[in-house]
Amino acid sequence: MATIWDLLAAIGEEGDCLVIELDEVQELSSISNHLLPLLANIFNTYPKIVFIFTGSIFGLMKALLEPRSTSPLYGRSPARLYLQPFTKEKAIEFLRRGFNEYNKPIKDIEMEAVERLDGIPGWLTLYGNNVAVRNIPHRIALEETVAEGTKIVKDELEHFLEGRDRILYITALKAMAISARWRDVKNVIETRRGGSVNDATIYNIIENLKAAMLIGEDEGVYVVKDPILRSLLLTSQID
């Protein structure tokens, strides 16, 4: 890491603003013990070096966005930019532009992907790559997208649940897979627990799920936004 520090220090001393993007940052979790102190030193010493982190909200992203008091990044919470699901119109345009780059017209049958993937940019990107780049037929491409997405969702949910009450969180998510209000969430959790659960616990569960972007809220109604996660919950493939 000394070499990286020397490189960044040399760049930082130039005086110009520099933007460094790290994609799929959760894959750096194996070196997080070295990376986090390095980032803290850069932030303190060279404020004109700006990092953009993209990737999963779980794993290392959690360490970056929600640093513990013992973390070198504590007190330096970065600004957050969430990529929200596309509307149907934007999702169609997103695929159309991507297909155009490969001189591939979008077909009516491929509109099924927009409906099934529900505007989630990551899944649309994966599907578009399968069709336009890998030349996989629509039906197979869509099924491969869902299969790969299922693996990703399961893995990331496991990361999120680490250190949390699995039963309560899964119970809450299953209720929200259909849609649920605060009282509904409390009722299903108390039924699952077999006794009363204080309001603070319910509040923390909901807020943690919102912070992880596993659920959305609209006028007091909570719902799981990702269609793949929603399907897994409704078919009891996650317990």
pLDDT in tens, 183-237: 999 999 999 999 999 999 999 999 999 888 899 999 999 999 999 999 999 998 8
Question: Does 16 fall in a domain?
Answer: yes
Is the pLDDT at 101 greater than 80? The verdict is yes
Residue 116 lies inside a defined structural domain of this protein: yes
Per-residue confidence (pLDDT) for residue 227, from 0 to 100: 95
Domain count, the chain: 3
Over residues 167-177, mean pLDDT: 96
The verdict on residue 75 lying in a domain is no
The range of the structural domain enclosing residue 139 comes to: 88-157
pLDDT tier at 127, thresholds 50, 70, 90: very high
Which has more pLDDT, 34 or 117?
A: 117
According to the per-residue pLDDT averaged within each range, which of 74-78, 155-159, 180-184, 234-238 is highest?
Answer: 180-184
CATH number of the domain residue 215 falls in: 1.10.10.10
Residues pairing with 205 in the sheet: none
| pTM: predicted TM-score of the whole model, two decimal places | 0.75
124 in any annotated domain: yes
Asked if 14 and 39 touch (Cβ cutoff 8 Å), the reply is no
User: What would the mean pLDDT of 65-71 be, rounded to a whole number?
Assistant: 63
Residue with tokens 């404020």: 47
* pLDDT of 61 higher than 60: no
Q: Are 104 and 131 in contact (CB under 8 A)?
A: yes
Instruction: Judge whether 73 lies within some domain.
Output: no
CA dist 205 to 25, 71, 124, Å?
25, 23, 29
Q: Are 199 and 139 part of one and the same domain?
A: no
Position 237 scores a pLDDT of: 84
For the sheet with 180-181, list strands across it: 180-181, 221-224, 215-218
Q: Quote the distance between the C-alpha of residue 229 and its chain's center.
A: 12
78 part of a folded domain: no
More confident of the two residues 52 and 67: 52
Locate 187 and state its tokens: 């009722």
Per-residue pLDDT, 201? 96
Three-state SS string over 14-47 comes to CCCCEEEEECCHHHHHHHHHHHHHHHHHHHHHCC
Residues 52, 9, single domain; the answer is: yes
